[in-house]
Amino acid sequence: MSAPQPLLDVREIEVRYGAIRALKGVSFSVGAGEVVALLGANGAGKTTTQKTVSGMLRPVAGTIEFEGRRIDGTPAHKLVDLGICHVPEGRHVFPRMTVAENLDMGAFRFKQPDPADLERVLELFPRLKERYGQHSGTLSGGEQQMLAIGRALMGKPRLLLLDEPSMGLAPLIVAQIFDIVREINRSGVTVLLVEQNASQALSLADRGYVLETGDIVLEGAGRDLLADERVRAAYLGEEIAAS
């Protein structure tokens, strides 16, 4: 299953917030071109894991390798230069900038935004094209989420970290967003997806990991996990079928 040289290889990382051990030795890998889902209850450490990968947090132990290079402890802005783009939890757009300016900001690491990228983002998200001159603070929640993803795409990501892109969105929009993530993945971007919406995430993902209070407790192919009783019980709200 795992490629000989995974794009991202996380080994035994431990992250602390002061006295709190949020991650207690988490290991996983993401192969080039894969979609990998990270599942877990609230407070399990999913966001912490993503933030550690994107360089916003530093692990106290363990290693992270991207294309075989150690990146743990590298600050976030340098990782963006390597092509690790993070769409943080909770739709962080620049509210008083227009959609256009937000997208431009996404390409901050380049001198000029690439018009081809812009075209592609507006193709993926026709809504953004309609609202191109609007201030992003006045966009709807779903539109803001689209903008946040679109902005990350402007940075030509090789590994895209998505933290709960479906949070607070109507089912129809959630489905749209997942379709778009699939499309993004098809165009060659590797995706590490954090989701509460386990069924949709796992049907999209090639592989998945389940976190529980800072530990990986389950891993496997998306479909296998979707079928796993424990996952179904914990995240899909189903009773454990009487065995």
Partner 1 sequence: MTTADSRALAKRLLACLVGGLVLAVMWGPQEGSQNDYYFELRTSLGFPRVLIFLGIGVVVFLAMTFWPVLRPFLSRPGVWPFLSGLLAVLAGQTLMHWYDPLGDGKFGTVATAVSQTKGISALTSAYFGWLAWTELALVVVLCAVGIALRLRLAAWIGGALAVIAAVLTWYAQHSVVAKGGGIDHSLGWGAVVVGYLVIAFAAGVIALSDAQVATGRAFADRLLGWRPGLPLVIAGVVLGLLAFYVGRWFAPSSTQYNTDFGGLHAVFAPTALASWAMAYLSWAGWVLLPVAVVLAGIAAYLRSRPLAWVAAAVGTLAAIYTLATLYEFSKIAARVAPTFGSTWQNLGTGGWMACGAFLLLGGAGYVAATAESAPQQGSEEAATVSPAAPAQVADEARSRSFLTAPGAARSLVIATIAFALFYPPTATSFWQSVLVSEIGIYVLLAVGLNVVVGWAGLLDLGFIAFFAIGSYTTAYLTNSLPIHPPSWLVLPPLAAIPFAVVICLIAGVLLGAPTLRLRGDYLAIVTLGFGEIIRIIANNADAITNGSRGTAVDPSRGVNNVPHPSIHIGPLHITWGLNQLQYWYLLLVLVVIVVVLFRRLENSRLGRAWAAIREDEVAAQATGMNTFRVKLLAFAIGASTSGLAGVFFGSYIGFFTPDNFVLNNSILVVAYVVFGGMGSLPGAMAGAALLTWLPEFLKNQVPAPDRQMWIGAVVLLMMIFRPAGLLPARRRRIELSADHLEEASSAETIAVPSHVGGAV
Question: How many CB atoms are closer than 10 A to CB 138?
Answer: 12
Q: How far is CA 47 from CA 5, 23, 63, 135, 147, in A?
A: 25, 10, 18, 27, 20
Site size toward partner 1, by CB under 8 A: 39
For the chain, the farthest-separated pair of C-alpha atoms sits apart, in whole angstroms, at: 60
Residue 188: left (phi > 0), alpha (psi -120 to 50), or beta? left
**Closer by beta carbon to partner 1, 98 or else 176:** 98
Contacted entry of ligand ATP, partner 1, Mg ion, none for residue 92, CB cut-off 5 to 8 Å set by kind: partner 1
Closest residue to Mg ion, judged by C-beta, is: 47
Pick from 19, 20, 241, 242: which binds ligand ATP (CB under 6 A)?
20
Q: Which residues contact 153 (CB under 8 A, 6 or more apart)?
A: 85, 106, 117, 120, 121, 124, 160, 184, 189
Helix (H, G, I), strand (E, B), or coil: what is residue 214? coil
Contacted entry of Mg ion, partner 1, ligand ATP, none for residue 27, CB cut-off 5 to 8 Å set by kind: none
Give the Cα separation of 190 and 63 in Å (integer): 20
Q: Is 234 in the site for ligand ATP (CB under 6 A)?
A: no
Q: Which of residues 87-106 bind ligand ATP (CB under 6 A)?
A: 89
Give the Cα separation of 197 and 239 in Å (integer): 17
The window from 87-95, 114-122, 126-134, 222-230 that contacts Mg ion (CB under 5 A) reads 87-95
Pick from 60, 108, 179, 203: which binds partner 1 (CB under 8 A)?
108
Q: Is 150 in the site for partner 1 (CB under 8 A)?
A: no
- Interaction site with ligand ATP (CB under 6 A): 17, 20, 22, 40, 42-48, 89
- Interaction site with partner 1 (CB under 8 A): 54, 56, 75-77, 80-81, 85-88, 92-98, 100-101, 105-106, 108-109, 118, 122, 129-135, 137-138, 148, 151-152, 155
